[in-house]
Chain A
Amino acid sequence: MTDHATWIKACAAGDKSALQALMTAEGGRMFGVAQRMLRRIDLAEDAVQDAFVLIWKRSHQFDPSRGSARGWVYTILRNRCLTMLRNEDRVQPIGPEAMESAINDQDLDTAFDRLDQTDDLRRCLERLDLQTRRAILSSYVLGHSHGEIAGRMAAPLGSVKSWVRRGLTKLRECLS
């Protein structure tokens, strides 16, 4: 088992120091992921706090044979961030729309550039056209919905949905 899996198992046994170890190892990155999606430090802290509480409470459900422990941790965090983005009114953009949009594009490019050159995901994303790649990246990296992607690209919702679907199919075929 990886360190992460060991820690989660120890959490299931009630060991808080294991949760603290997981926080030390992964908390900073989780905070970065949450800030990228939620755009506000205070909300990002709430999301990471909530995620750790959920990790603690659900640790007994974690099954190392079913998937990676890190993946499990980030799924919990991402779902919490998405819920905050979709269901709660308190997430408001911080600045003017144009500025938001420029920051968003920059975040997407940075995310793509930081993928390892040898990473299959990078190689396969590179094969997509720019718009499809951006649409897929902005849903994962920024947590944007179909509607938000359509708004930002000034494209009809239906087209965005089909770009994304075609893109995902290509991506899956390329990766498998």
Chain B
Amino acid sequence: MTDRSLDLLIDEVALGLADDADIARLDRMAQADPAIAARLDQARQRLLALDDTADALPLPEGFWTRLEARLDAEEATTPPAAPQPAQQNVVEVSSIRNAMHRWRATAVAGMAAALMLGVMLAWVSLSRPEPAVIAVLLNDAGEAIALVEGLPDNTTRITLLERQNVAADQVMQVWTKPEEDGPPVSLGLLSTGRSSTLTIDGLPTPRPQQLYEITFEPAGGSPTQLPTGPILGKGLAKEPVT
């Protein structure tokens, strides 16, 4: 690097125009070479008068209290860089102690929440049964509109992937064909219009290539026990790879 380009790099860093890579590069050079460090300091010093042209504005109320609380929080997580001197008594100890208690309480509450979440996740993953088959239902345009998970006991979890505008006098009904050549059988209604879990008795365990579909039916469900309305989406089930 020529001296001239080094000067420019120094000036651009001091001015605030250098990008992160240049700042880091100059930082390394300054660490290694005190002469470069001195030039950078000099360049900054030349511009410092411009900071003095800013208005001195009153700091917001409670600024020091908030700052002190942050310092305490830093200290709670990192050991102090240097031993504490005897001048500590200059600082009002009780406010620090209060702030410490507040931060500690927050930290403990945070840890408790994290622990609780961990337990819940473990419980959910242990207790959530694996589906025998999964089907992604697609609409005419080929967009995925729902995920269907068929459990061995014929519990069916339906996760809608798009919010549907269902007319007031209609309902979404979920169908499957347990036998390839047989008629569709209703698994139930999505009467809330949201994702839900449906249970039905007396059907065989779902198998790969089983058809699932959702149709719009009159409120209360299809009067004929067979799909009558427009199809929202349909798809063939596959066995998840585990």
Contacts and interface: CB of A to CB of B under 8 A. Distances in A.
Contacts of B56: 28-29, 31-32
A57 B78 CA distance: 10
B242 interface: no
Given A20-B64, A29-B54, A32-B56, A13 B82 contact: yes
By size class, the interface of chain B is: 35 or more
B44 interface: yes
B53 interface: yes
Interface residues of A, number: 62
A36 interface: yes
B85 to A, nearest CB: 5
A110 B53 contact: yes
B41 A71 contact: yes
A145 B17 contact: yes
A172 B55 contact: no
Secondary structure of the A contact surface, majority rule: helix
Given A45-B60, A140-B16, A165-B8, A60 B82 contact: yes
A119 B56 CA distance: 20
A68 B48 contact: yes
24 contacts: A10-B87, A13-B82, A14-B81, A14-B84, A14-B88, A27-B59, A27-B63, A32-B57, A33-B54, A36-B54, A36-B55, A41-B60, A48-B63, A49-B67, A53-B70, A66-B38, A68-B45, A74-B48, A115-B50, A116-B49, A139-B15, A140-B47, A141-B53, A169-B8
- Name the 3 nearest CB pairs between A and B, nearest first: A67-B41, A32-B54, A28-B56
Interface of B: 4, 7-8, 11-12, 15-17, 34, 37-38, 41-60, 63-64, 66-68, 70-71, 74, 80-85, 87-88, 90-91, 96
